[in-house]
Structure 1
Protein backbone atom coordinates (compact mmCIF):
# COMPACT_ATOMS: atom_id res chain seq x y z
CA UNK A 1 0.00 0.00 0.00
CA UNK A 2 1.22 3.48 -0.86
CA UNK A 3 0.51 5.59 2.22
CA UNK A 4 2.33 8.62 3.56
CA UNK A 5 1.84 12.14 4.81
CA UNK A 6 2.15 15.78 3.90
CA UNK A 7 5.67 16.41 5.19
CA UNK A 8 7.72 19.54 5.75
CA UNK A 9 10.52 20.75 3.48
CA UNK A 10 11.95 23.08 6.16
CA UNK A 11 15.70 23.40 5.78
CA UNK A 12 15.66 22.15 2.19
CA UNK A 13 13.22 20.39 -0.07
CA UNK A 14 15.25 17.20 0.03
CA UNK A 15 14.53 16.98 3.78
CA UNK A 16 11.10 15.69 2.79
CA UNK A 17 12.77 12.32 2.17
CA UNK A 18 13.96 11.83 5.75
CA UNK A 19 10.75 13.33 7.11
CA UNK A 20 8.65 10.84 5.18
CA UNK A 21 10.77 7.89 6.26
CA UNK A 22 10.59 9.05 9.88
CA UNK A 23 6.79 8.81 9.94
CA UNK A 24 6.75 5.46 8.14
CA UNK A 25 5.41 6.72 4.81
CA UNK A 26 6.35 5.52 1.33
CA UNK A 27 4.65 8.26 -0.71
CA UNK A 28 3.31 11.70 0.17
CA UNK A 29 2.76 15.37 -0.39
CA UNK A 30 4.77 18.60 -0.10
CA UNK A 31 4.48 22.34 -0.55
CA UNK A 32 7.32 23.85 -2.57
CA UNK A 33 7.03 27.04 -0.47
CA UNK A 34 4.79 28.60 2.17
CA UNK A 35 1.20 28.11 0.98
CA UNK A 36 0.02 31.32 2.62
CA UNK A 37 1.92 33.74 0.38
CA UNK A 38 2.57 34.34 -3.33
CA UNK A 39 6.04 32.88 -3.66
CA UNK A 40 7.94 31.06 -6.37
CA UNK A 41 9.36 27.61 -5.66
CA UNK A 42 12.98 28.27 -4.71
CA UNK A 43 14.61 24.95 -5.41
CA UNK A 44 18.36 24.76 -5.86
CA UNK A 45 19.83 22.31 -8.32
CA UNK A 46 21.47 20.40 -5.48
CA UNK A 47 18.15 20.13 -3.64
CA UNK A 48 16.38 18.90 -6.75
CA UNK A 49 19.06 16.28 -7.40
CA UNK A 50 18.99 15.13 -3.76
CA UNK A 51 15.20 14.87 -3.79
CA UNK A 52 15.10 12.84 -7.00
CA UNK A 53 17.97 10.60 -5.94
CA UNK A 54 16.61 10.13 -2.42
CA UNK A 55 13.14 9.24 -3.67
CA UNK A 56 14.59 6.68 -6.06
CA UNK A 57 16.97 5.18 -3.49
CA UNK A 58 14.31 4.91 -0.78
CA UNK A 59 11.60 3.87 -3.26
CA UNK A 60 9.33 6.73 -2.21
CA UNK A 61 6.44 7.82 -4.37
CA UNK A 62 4.40 8.87 -6.06
CA UNK A 63 4.75 12.35 -4.60
CA UNK A 64 2.26 15.16 -5.12
CA UNK A 65 2.83 18.93 -4.83
CA UNK A 66 0.01 20.85 -3.17
CA UNK A 67 -0.46 24.27 -4.73
CA UNK A 68 -0.66 27.53 -2.78
CA UNK A 69 -3.80 28.18 -0.76
CA UNK A 70 -4.03 31.56 -2.48
CA UNK A 71 -4.67 30.04 -5.91
CA UNK A 72 -8.27 30.60 -7.01
CA UNK A 73 -9.05 29.19 -10.43
CA UNK A 74 -12.76 30.08 -10.25
CA UNK A 75 -12.27 33.77 -9.55
CA UNK A 76 -13.81 36.41 -11.83
CA UNK A 77 -11.08 38.87 -10.77
CA UNK A 78 -8.51 39.20 -13.52
CA UNK A 79 -5.58 40.07 -11.25
CA UNK A 80 -6.14 37.07 -8.99
CA UNK A 81 -6.71 34.84 -11.99
CA UNK A 82 -3.37 35.82 -13.53
CA UNK A 83 -1.53 35.29 -10.23
CA UNK A 84 -3.19 31.89 -9.87
CA UNK A 85 -2.20 30.80 -13.37
CA UNK A 86 1.37 32.02 -12.86
CA UNK A 87 1.62 30.20 -9.55
CA UNK A 88 0.28 26.97 -11.03
CA UNK A 89 2.68 27.18 -13.98
CA UNK A 90 5.60 27.42 -11.58
CA UNK A 91 4.29 24.43 -9.61
CA UNK A 92 3.95 22.15 -12.64
CA UNK A 93 7.42 23.21 -13.78
CA UNK A 94 8.78 22.40 -10.31
CA UNK A 95 7.07 19.01 -10.44
CA UNK A 96 8.78 18.33 -13.74
CA UNK A 97 12.20 19.20 -12.25
CA UNK A 98 11.59 16.94 -9.27
CA UNK A 99 10.12 13.99 -11.21
CA UNK A 100 6.87 14.45 -9.27
CA UNK A 101 3.89 13.26 -11.32
CA UNK A 102 1.12 15.30 -9.70
CA UNK A 103 0.22 18.86 -8.69
CA UNK A 104 -2.90 19.15 -6.56
CA UNK A 105 -5.15 22.23 -6.61
CA UNK A 106 -8.48 23.38 -5.17
CA UNK A 107 -10.84 24.95 -7.68
CA UNK A 108 -11.40 27.93 -5.40
CA UNK A 109 -14.45 30.17 -4.98
CA UNK A 110 -16.59 31.89 -7.59
CA UNK A 111 -17.22 34.80 -5.15
CA UNK A 112 -20.55 35.71 -6.68
CA UNK A 113 -19.89 34.94 -10.34
CA UNK A 114 -22.09 31.84 -10.08
CA UNK A 115 -21.36 28.14 -10.33
CA UNK A 116 -21.36 27.89 -14.12
CA UNK A 117 -19.12 30.92 -14.59
CA UNK A 118 -16.85 29.68 -11.82
CA UNK A 119 -16.45 26.28 -13.46
CA UNK A 120 -15.78 27.94 -16.83
CA UNK A 121 -13.20 30.20 -15.20
CA UNK A 122 -11.43 27.24 -13.63
CA UNK A 123 -11.35 25.20 -16.83
CA UNK A 124 -10.09 28.12 -18.93
CA UNK A 125 -7.43 29.02 -16.35
CA UNK A 126 -6.15 25.45 -16.39
CA UNK A 127 -6.14 25.55 -20.19
CA UNK A 128 -3.60 28.39 -20.06
CA UNK A 129 -1.03 26.15 -18.39
CA UNK A 130 1.82 24.57 -20.32
CA UNK A 131 1.89 21.30 -18.40
CA UNK A 132 5.07 19.25 -18.97
CA UNK A 133 4.82 15.67 -20.14
CA UNK A 134 4.74 13.36 -17.15
CA UNK A 135 2.96 15.88 -14.90
CA UNK A 136 -0.80 15.83 -14.24
CA UNK A 137 -2.86 18.44 -12.43
CA UNK A 138 -5.25 16.91 -9.91
CA UNK A 139 -8.40 18.83 -9.01
CA UNK A 140 -9.18 18.26 -5.34
CA UNK A 141 -12.62 17.66 -3.89
CA UNK A 142 -13.71 20.40 -1.49
CA UNK A 143 -15.83 20.67 1.65
CA UNK A 144 -18.09 23.05 -0.25
CA UNK A 145 -18.53 25.99 2.11
CA UNK A 146 -19.64 29.41 0.86
CA UNK A 147 -19.02 29.92 -2.86
CA UNK A 148 -16.20 27.36 -3.03
CA UNK A 149 -16.58 24.86 -5.84
CA UNK A 150 -15.51 21.22 -5.87
CA UNK A 151 -17.78 20.02 -3.09
CA UNK A 152 -20.09 18.33 -5.59
CA UNK A 153 -18.63 15.53 -7.67
CA UNK A 154 -20.43 17.17 -10.60
CA UNK A 155 -18.15 20.21 -10.25
CA UNK A 156 -15.08 18.02 -10.63
CA UNK A 157 -16.57 16.20 -13.62
CA UNK A 158 -17.55 19.46 -15.31
CA UNK A 159 -14.06 20.97 -15.02
CA UNK A 160 -12.50 17.79 -16.38
CA UNK A 161 -14.99 17.88 -19.26
CA UNK A 162 -14.69 21.61 -20.02
CA UNK A 163 -10.90 21.76 -19.88
CA UNK A 164 -8.71 20.79 -22.82
CA UNK A 165 -6.06 19.49 -20.40
CA UNK A 166 -5.77 15.85 -19.32
CA UNK A 167 -6.82 16.38 -15.70
CA UNK A 168 -7.47 13.92 -12.91
CA UNK A 169 -8.81 14.07 -9.35
CA UNK A 170 -7.62 13.93 -5.75
CA UNK A 171 -10.41 12.88 -3.39
CA UNK A 172 -10.20 14.20 0.17
CA UNK A 173 -12.24 11.94 2.44
CA UNK A 174 -12.87 14.61 5.09
CA UNK A 175 -13.89 17.13 2.42
CA UNK A 176 -16.22 14.67 0.69
CA UNK A 177 -17.80 13.78 4.03
CA UNK A 178 -18.26 17.44 4.92
CA UNK A 179 -19.81 18.04 1.50
CA UNK A 180 -22.46 15.39 2.17
CA UNK A 181 -20.98 12.17 0.81
CA UNK A 182 -21.27 9.63 3.64
CA UNK A 183 -18.27 7.39 4.31
CA UNK A 184 -19.10 6.25 7.84
CA UNK A 185 -20.11 2.66 7.08
CA UNK A 186 -19.36 -0.07 4.57
CA UNK A 187 -22.68 0.55 2.82
CA UNK A 188 -22.06 4.31 2.73
CA UNK A 189 -18.58 3.84 1.27
CA UNK A 190 -19.98 1.56 -1.43
CA UNK A 191 -22.62 4.16 -2.32
CA UNK A 192 -20.21 7.10 -2.37
CA UNK A 193 -17.55 5.29 -4.39
CA UNK A 194 -20.22 4.17 -6.86
CA UNK A 195 -21.48 7.75 -7.16
CA UNK A 196 -17.96 9.04 -7.75
CA UNK A 197 -17.49 6.42 -10.45
CA UNK A 198 -20.80 7.31 -12.08
CA UNK A 199 -20.21 11.08 -12.04
CA UNK A 200 -16.43 11.48 -12.39
CA UNK A 201 -15.08 8.03 -13.19
CA UNK A 202 -12.72 5.99 -11.03
CA UNK A 203 -10.17 6.09 -13.83
CA UNK A 204 -9.66 9.77 -12.88
CA UNK A 205 -8.98 9.02 -9.20
CA UNK A 206 -5.19 9.25 -8.93
CA UNK A 207 -4.65 10.31 -5.30
CA UNK A 208 -6.53 10.38 -1.99
CA UNK A 209 -6.13 12.74 0.93
CA UNK A 210 -7.05 10.34 3.71
CA UNK A 211 -8.47 12.24 6.67
CA UNK A 212 -11.16 11.62 9.25
CA UNK A 213 -13.55 14.46 10.10
CA UNK A 214 -14.29 16.30 13.34
CA UNK A 215 -17.70 17.32 12.02
CA UNK A 216 -20.86 15.58 10.85
CA UNK A 217 -21.55 14.61 7.25
CA UNK A 218 -22.95 17.48 5.21
CA UNK A 219 -21.90 20.30 7.55
CA UNK A 220 -19.41 21.78 5.03
CA UNK A 221 -16.97 22.11 7.95
CA UNK A 222 -13.38 21.19 7.10
CA UNK A 223 -11.51 20.05 10.20
CA UNK A 224 -9.48 16.87 10.12
CA UNK A 225 -9.37 14.18 12.80
CA UNK A 226 -7.14 11.19 13.54
CA UNK A 227 -7.90 8.18 11.34
CA UNK A 228 -10.82 6.21 12.79
CA UNK A 229 -11.44 8.67 15.61
CA UNK A 230 -13.61 11.22 13.86
CA UNK A 231 -17.17 11.14 12.57
CA UNK A 232 -16.23 8.93 9.62
CA UNK A 233 -14.96 6.51 12.22
CA UNK A 234 -13.13 3.23 12.20
CA UNK A 235 -15.80 1.26 10.32
CA UNK A 236 -15.91 3.78 7.53
CA UNK A 237 -12.16 4.20 7.29
CA UNK A 238 -11.64 0.43 7.25
CA UNK A 239 -14.23 0.02 4.50
CA UNK A 240 -12.71 2.85 2.47
CA UNK A 241 -9.06 1.76 2.57
CA UNK A 242 -10.08 -1.82 1.77
CA UNK A 243 -12.40 -0.93 -1.10
CA UNK A 244 -11.13 -2.54 -4.34
CA UNK A 245 -11.29 0.83 -6.12
CA UNK A 246 -8.88 2.34 -3.60
CA UNK A 247 -6.45 -0.58 -3.41
CA UNK A 248 -3.85 0.88 -5.77
CA UNK A 249 -4.50 4.60 -5.18
CA UNK A 250 -1.79 6.39 -3.14
CA UNK A 251 -2.93 7.89 0.15
CA UNK A 252 -1.53 11.10 1.67
CA UNK A 253 -2.55 11.97 5.23
CA UNK A 254 -3.18 15.52 6.44
CA UNK A 255 -4.21 14.44 9.92
CA UNK A 256 -3.63 16.65 12.98
CA UNK A 257 -0.76 16.67 15.43
CA UNK A 258 -2.58 16.53 18.75
CA UNK A 259 -3.20 14.26 21.74
CA UNK A 260 0.44 13.18 21.53
CA UNK A 261 -0.11 11.64 18.10
CA UNK A 262 0.97 12.67 14.64
CA UNK A 263 1.53 11.22 11.20
CA UNK A 264 3.38 8.11 12.39
CA UNK A 265 0.45 7.02 14.57
CA UNK A 266 -2.05 7.66 11.76
CA UNK A 267 -0.02 5.84 9.11
CA UNK A 268 0.29 2.87 11.45
CA UNK A 269 -3.48 3.00 11.97
CA UNK A 270 -4.11 2.93 8.21
CA UNK A 271 -1.86 -0.11 7.84
CA UNK A 272 -3.71 -1.79 10.71
CA UNK A 273 -7.07 -1.09 9.07
CA UNK A 274 -5.72 -2.46 5.79
CA UNK A 275 -4.60 -5.63 7.59
CA UNK A 276 -0.90 -5.07 6.94
CA UNK A 277 0.05 -5.28 10.63
Structure 2
Protein backbone atom coordinates (compact mmCIF):
# COMPACT_ATOMS: atom_id res chain seq x y z
CA UNK A 1 0.00 0.00 0.00
CA UNK A 2 1.18 3.55 -0.77
CA UNK A 3 2.65 5.39 2.21
CA UNK A 4 0.04 7.87 3.44
CA UNK A 5 1.75 10.79 5.15
CA UNK A 6 0.71 14.42 5.38
CA UNK A 7 0.39 17.40 7.66
CA UNK A 8 -2.10 19.53 9.52
CA UNK A 9 -2.94 22.28 7.04
CA UNK A 10 -4.75 25.63 7.20
CA UNK A 11 -8.22 26.46 5.83
CA UNK A 12 -7.44 30.20 5.69
CA UNK A 13 -9.17 31.71 2.67
CA UNK A 14 -11.39 28.64 2.27
CA UNK A 15 -11.21 24.98 3.20
CA UNK A 16 -10.18 24.06 -0.36
CA UNK A 17 -6.86 25.83 0.19
CA UNK A 18 -5.84 23.04 2.56
CA UNK A 19 -5.56 20.72 -0.44
CA UNK A 20 -3.13 22.96 -2.31
CA UNK A 21 -1.08 23.47 0.85
CA UNK A 22 -0.89 19.70 1.30
CA UNK A 23 0.35 19.36 -2.27
CA UNK A 24 3.07 21.94 -1.56
CA UNK A 25 4.29 19.74 1.30
CA UNK A 26 4.13 16.61 -0.92
CA UNK A 27 1.61 15.11 1.47
CA UNK A 28 -1.15 12.74 0.43
CA UNK A 29 -3.37 12.76 3.54
CA UNK A 30 -3.95 15.38 6.19
CA UNK A 31 -5.79 17.15 8.95
CA UNK A 32 -7.60 20.46 9.40
CA UNK A 33 -9.45 22.51 11.97
CA UNK A 34 -12.91 23.49 10.69
CA UNK A 35 -12.59 26.78 12.63
CA UNK A 36 -10.32 28.37 15.22
CA UNK A 37 -9.72 25.66 17.86
CA UNK A 38 -9.40 28.17 20.69
CA UNK A 39 -13.02 29.39 20.68
CA UNK A 40 -16.57 28.03 20.58
CA UNK A 41 -17.41 28.58 16.93
CA UNK A 42 -19.32 26.96 14.09
CA UNK A 43 -17.28 25.38 11.29
CA UNK A 44 -16.15 28.03 8.80
CA UNK A 45 -17.06 26.30 5.53
CA UNK A 46 -18.78 27.73 2.45
CA UNK A 47 -20.72 25.33 0.21
CA UNK A 48 -18.67 26.23 -2.88
CA UNK A 49 -15.41 25.70 -0.99
CA UNK A 50 -16.65 22.38 0.36
CA UNK A 51 -17.28 21.20 -3.19
CA UNK A 52 -13.83 22.38 -4.26
CA UNK A 53 -12.26 20.57 -1.30
CA UNK A 54 -13.92 17.28 -2.19
CA UNK A 55 -13.10 17.55 -5.87
CA UNK A 56 -9.49 18.65 -5.42
CA UNK A 57 -8.84 15.96 -2.81
CA UNK A 58 -10.16 13.31 -5.19
CA UNK A 59 -8.32 14.71 -8.22
CA UNK A 60 -5.00 14.75 -6.35
CA UNK A 61 -5.54 11.46 -4.46
CA UNK A 62 -5.19 13.18 -1.10
CA UNK A 63 -6.84 11.36 1.79
CA UNK A 64 -7.93 10.34 4.23
CA UNK A 65 -8.52 13.68 5.91
CA UNK A 66 -9.16 14.26 9.61
CA UNK A 67 -10.97 17.15 11.30
CA UNK A 68 -9.40 17.91 14.67
CA UNK A 69 -12.01 19.08 17.15
CA UNK A 70 -11.81 22.27 19.21
CA UNK A 71 -9.35 22.37 22.09
CA UNK A 72 -12.23 23.52 24.30
CA UNK A 73 -14.11 20.23 23.99
CA UNK A 74 -14.03 18.22 27.23
CA UNK A 75 -15.94 14.97 27.02
CA UNK A 76 -14.91 13.84 30.52
CA UNK A 77 -16.16 16.93 32.33
CA UNK A 78 -18.67 16.61 35.19
CA UNK A 79 -19.94 20.14 34.45
CA UNK A 80 -23.29 20.11 32.64
CA UNK A 81 -22.77 23.35 30.72
CA UNK A 82 -19.34 22.37 29.40
CA UNK A 83 -20.61 18.91 28.56
CA UNK A 84 -23.45 20.33 26.47
CA UNK A 85 -21.14 22.75 24.69
CA UNK A 86 -18.73 19.89 23.96
CA UNK A 87 -21.44 17.66 22.55
CA UNK A 88 -22.81 20.51 20.44
CA UNK A 89 -19.35 21.33 19.09
CA UNK A 90 -18.66 17.70 18.23
CA UNK A 91 -22.01 17.38 16.43
CA UNK A 92 -21.08 20.33 14.25
CA UNK A 93 -17.69 18.74 13.52
CA UNK A 94 -19.10 15.40 12.39
CA UNK A 95 -21.67 17.22 10.25
CA UNK A 96 -18.88 19.31 8.70
CA UNK A 97 -16.92 16.15 7.99
CA UNK A 98 -19.95 14.73 6.19
CA UNK A 99 -20.23 17.87 4.02
CA UNK A 100 -16.54 17.69 3.14
CA UNK A 101 -16.37 13.96 2.52
CA UNK A 102 -13.90 13.65 5.40
CA UNK A 103 -13.67 10.24 7.03
CA UNK A 104 -12.57 11.12 10.55
CA UNK A 105 -13.15 13.59 13.38
CA UNK A 106 -10.45 13.45 16.04
CA UNK A 107 -11.05 14.38 19.69
CA UNK A 108 -9.20 14.33 23.01
CA UNK A 109 -11.15 12.82 25.89
CA UNK A 110 -10.42 15.81 28.09
CA UNK A 111 -10.01 16.07 31.87
CA UNK A 112 -12.19 14.67 34.64
CA UNK A 113 -11.31 17.68 36.87
CA UNK A 114 -11.83 15.78 40.10
CA UNK A 115 -14.71 13.50 39.14
CA UNK A 116 -12.33 10.54 39.06
CA UNK A 117 -11.02 8.37 36.26
CA UNK A 118 -13.95 5.97 36.00
CA UNK A 119 -16.57 8.70 36.13
CA UNK A 120 -14.60 10.70 33.57
CA UNK A 121 -14.49 7.73 31.21
CA UNK A 122 -18.22 7.15 31.70
CA UNK A 123 -18.85 10.83 30.99
CA UNK A 124 -16.84 10.67 27.76
CA UNK A 125 -18.55 7.53 26.49
CA UNK A 126 -22.04 8.84 27.25
CA UNK A 127 -21.26 12.22 25.67
CA UNK A 128 -20.13 10.52 22.48
CA UNK A 129 -23.29 8.41 22.51
CA UNK A 130 -25.38 11.59 22.17
CA UNK A 131 -23.86 12.34 18.76
CA UNK A 132 -25.72 11.62 15.55
CA UNK A 133 -22.69 10.59 13.49
CA UNK A 134 -23.33 10.57 9.73
CA UNK A 135 -22.67 7.39 7.79
CA UNK A 136 -19.13 7.44 6.45
CA UNK A 137 -17.77 9.51 9.35
CA UNK A 138 -15.93 7.96 12.31
CA UNK A 139 -14.97 9.65 15.57
CA UNK A 140 -11.38 8.98 16.63
CA UNK A 141 -10.40 9.14 20.30
CA UNK A 142 -6.84 10.45 20.54
CA UNK A 143 -4.18 9.27 22.96
CA UNK A 144 -3.04 11.97 25.38
CA UNK A 145 0.15 12.97 27.18
CA UNK A 146 -1.70 12.44 30.47
CA UNK A 147 -0.94 15.57 32.47
CA UNK A 148 -3.10 16.53 35.44
CA UNK A 149 -6.54 14.92 35.31
CA UNK A 150 -6.53 14.50 31.53
CA UNK A 151 -7.56 11.04 30.38
CA UNK A 152 -6.32 9.10 27.38
CA UNK A 153 -2.70 8.79 28.46
CA UNK A 154 -3.18 5.13 29.35
CA UNK A 155 -4.21 2.73 26.60
CA UNK A 156 -6.72 1.35 29.10
CA UNK A 157 -8.56 4.69 29.00
CA UNK A 158 -8.97 4.46 25.24
CA UNK A 159 -10.12 0.85 25.44
CA UNK A 160 -12.64 1.71 28.16
CA UNK A 161 -14.30 4.45 26.12
CA UNK A 162 -14.46 2.25 23.02
CA UNK A 163 -16.01 -0.51 25.13
CA UNK A 164 -18.50 1.69 26.99
CA UNK A 165 -19.71 3.75 24.04
CA UNK A 166 -22.39 2.58 21.65
CA UNK A 167 -20.69 4.49 18.83
CA UNK A 168 -18.40 2.74 16.36
CA UNK A 169 -15.30 4.57 17.57
CA UNK A 170 -11.69 4.17 16.52
CA UNK A 171 -8.36 5.55 17.80
CA UNK A 172 -5.74 8.08 16.77
CA UNK A 173 -2.38 7.29 18.39
CA UNK A 174 -0.12 10.31 18.88
CA UNK A 175 3.50 9.21 19.18
CA UNK A 176 4.64 12.26 21.15
CA UNK A 177 1.70 11.92 23.54
CA UNK A 178 2.24 8.19 24.04
CA UNK A 179 5.95 8.81 24.69
CA UNK A 180 5.15 11.58 27.18
CA UNK A 181 2.66 9.26 28.89
CA UNK A 182 5.38 6.66 29.47
CA UNK A 183 5.34 4.40 26.41
CA UNK A 184 8.96 4.24 25.25
CA UNK A 185 9.17 4.58 21.46
CA UNK A 186 12.85 5.54 21.30
CA UNK A 187 14.18 2.08 20.40
CA UNK A 188 13.02 -0.76 18.13
CA UNK A 189 12.46 -2.87 21.23
CA UNK A 190 10.36 -0.14 22.81
CA UNK A 191 8.33 0.32 19.64
CA UNK A 192 7.62 -3.42 19.46
CA UNK A 193 6.58 -3.53 23.10
CA UNK A 194 4.36 -0.45 22.84
CA UNK A 195 2.57 -1.64 19.72
CA UNK A 196 2.11 -5.09 21.25
CA UNK A 197 0.60 -3.52 24.37
CA UNK A 198 -1.68 -1.32 22.28
CA UNK A 199 -2.85 -4.39 20.40
CA UNK A 200 -3.49 -6.31 23.61
CA UNK A 201 -5.33 -3.49 25.39
CA UNK A 202 -7.10 -1.59 22.57
CA UNK A 203 -6.67 -3.71 19.44
CA UNK A 204 -4.83 -2.74 16.29
CA UNK A 205 -8.05 -3.10 14.32
CA UNK A 206 -9.19 0.12 16.06
CA UNK A 207 -6.11 2.12 15.00
CA UNK A 208 -7.30 4.38 12.17
CA UNK A 209 -4.72 7.18 12.23
CA UNK A 210 -1.38 8.17 13.76
CA UNK A 211 -0.28 11.66 14.73
CA UNK A 212 3.39 11.23 13.99
CA UNK A 213 5.38 13.62 16.16
CA UNK A 214 8.74 13.50 17.92
CA UNK A 215 8.97 14.82 21.48
CA UNK A 216 10.99 17.67 22.96
CA UNK A 217 10.73 16.02 26.37
CA UNK A 218 11.77 12.68 27.80
CA UNK A 219 9.59 9.60 28.13
CA UNK A 220 7.11 9.68 31.00
CA UNK A 221 7.28 13.43 31.66
CA UNK A 222 3.64 14.05 30.62
CA UNK A 223 4.90 17.12 28.74
CA UNK A 224 3.29 17.68 25.36
CA UNK A 225 5.66 19.55 23.06
CA UNK A 226 6.34 18.27 19.58
CA UNK A 227 9.71 18.10 17.83
CA UNK A 228 10.84 17.54 14.26
CA UNK A 229 10.85 13.91 13.15
CA UNK A 230 14.00 12.21 14.43
CA UNK A 231 15.25 15.31 16.27
CA UNK A 232 13.50 14.80 19.59
CA UNK A 233 13.84 12.22 22.35
CA UNK A 234 12.18 9.53 20.24
CA UNK A 235 14.87 10.06 17.61
CA UNK A 236 15.64 8.43 14.29
CA UNK A 237 15.91 4.91 15.73
CA UNK A 238 12.48 5.05 17.30
CA UNK A 239 10.79 6.89 14.45
CA UNK A 240 12.34 4.58 11.87
CA UNK A 241 11.23 1.49 13.76
CA UNK A 242 7.74 2.90 14.22
CA UNK A 243 7.01 3.89 10.62
CA UNK A 244 8.38 0.56 9.38
CA UNK A 245 6.51 -1.61 11.87
CA UNK A 246 4.23 -4.03 10.07
CA UNK A 247 1.22 -2.88 12.10
CA UNK A 248 1.75 0.75 11.09
CA UNK A 249 2.65 0.47 7.43
CA UNK A 250 -0.93 0.91 6.15
CA UNK A 251 -2.04 3.48 8.75
CA UNK A 252 -2.17 7.14 7.61
CA UNK A 253 0.43 9.33 9.32
CA UNK A 254 -0.46 12.97 10.04
CA UNK A 255 2.28 15.32 11.20
CA UNK A 256 1.79 18.07 13.78
CA UNK A 257 5.48 18.98 13.91
CA UNK A 258 6.64 22.55 14.54
CA UNK A 259 7.74 25.06 11.93
CA UNK A 260 11.04 26.23 13.38
CA UNK A 261 14.78 26.16 12.75
CA UNK A 262 14.11 26.51 9.03
CA UNK A 263 12.23 23.22 8.89
CA UNK A 264 8.61 23.02 7.81
CA UNK A 265 6.07 20.28 7.25
CA UNK A 266 7.68 19.57 3.88
CA UNK A 267 11.02 18.78 5.58
CA UNK A 268 9.31 16.46 8.06
CA UNK A 269 7.32 14.65 5.38
CA UNK A 270 10.52 14.10 3.42
CA UNK A 271 12.15 12.79 6.58
CA UNK A 272 9.39 10.23 7.09
CA UNK A 273 9.78 9.08 3.50
CA UNK A 274 13.53 8.69 4.04
CA UNK A 275 13.01 6.66 7.21
CA UNK A 276 10.47 4.38 5.56
CA UNK A 277 12.41 1.40 4.28
TM-score normalised per structure 2: 0.99
Provide Cα deviations, 1:114-133, integer angstroms capped at 9, x if missing partner: 00000000000000000001
Residue of structure 2 aligned with 1:257, choices 251, 256, 259 = 259
**Secondary structure of residue in 1 paired with 2:211:** strand
CA offset at residue 194 of structure 1? 0.0
Aligned to 1:133: 135
CA distance in 1, matches of 2:44, 2:264: 28
Listed as ranges, the matches of 1:54-203 within 5 Å are 54-203=56-205
CA distance in 1, matches of 2:57, 2:39: 27
CA distance in 1, matches of 2:152, 2:220: 14
Aligned to 2:238: 236
CA distance in 1, matches of 2:266, 2:46: 29
Aligned to 1:28: 30
CA distance in 2, matches of 1:74, 1:217: 25
**Secondary structure of residue in 2 paired with 1:39:** coil
CA offset at residue 71 of structure 1? 0.2
CA offset at residue 5 of structure 1? 0.2
CA offset at residue 43 of structure 1? 1.1
CA distance in 2, matches of 1:48, 1:118: 35
Runs of 4+ in 1 over 4 A off after TM superposition: none
CA offset at residue 173 of structure 1? 0.1
Aligned to 2:228: 226
Structure 2: state its 5+ residue gaps.
Answer: none
CA offset at residue 44 of structure 1? 1.0
Structure 1: state its 5+ residue gaps.
Answer: none
**Secondary structure of residue in 2 paired with 1:180:** coil
**Secondary structure of residue in 2 paired with 1:217:** coil
CA offset at residue 214 of structure 1? 0.4
Provide Cα deviations, 1:39-80, integer angstroms capped at 9, x if missing partner: 001211101100000000001000000000000000000000
Aligned to 1:4: 6
Residue of structure 1 aligned with 2:15, choices 13, 17, 28 = 13
**Secondary structure of residue in 1 paired with 2:18:** helix
**Secondary structure of residue in 1 paired with 2:42:** coil
TM-score normalised per structure 1: 0.99
CA distance in 1, matches of 2:71, 2:102: 19
Question: Is 1:210 aligned with 2:222?
Answer: no
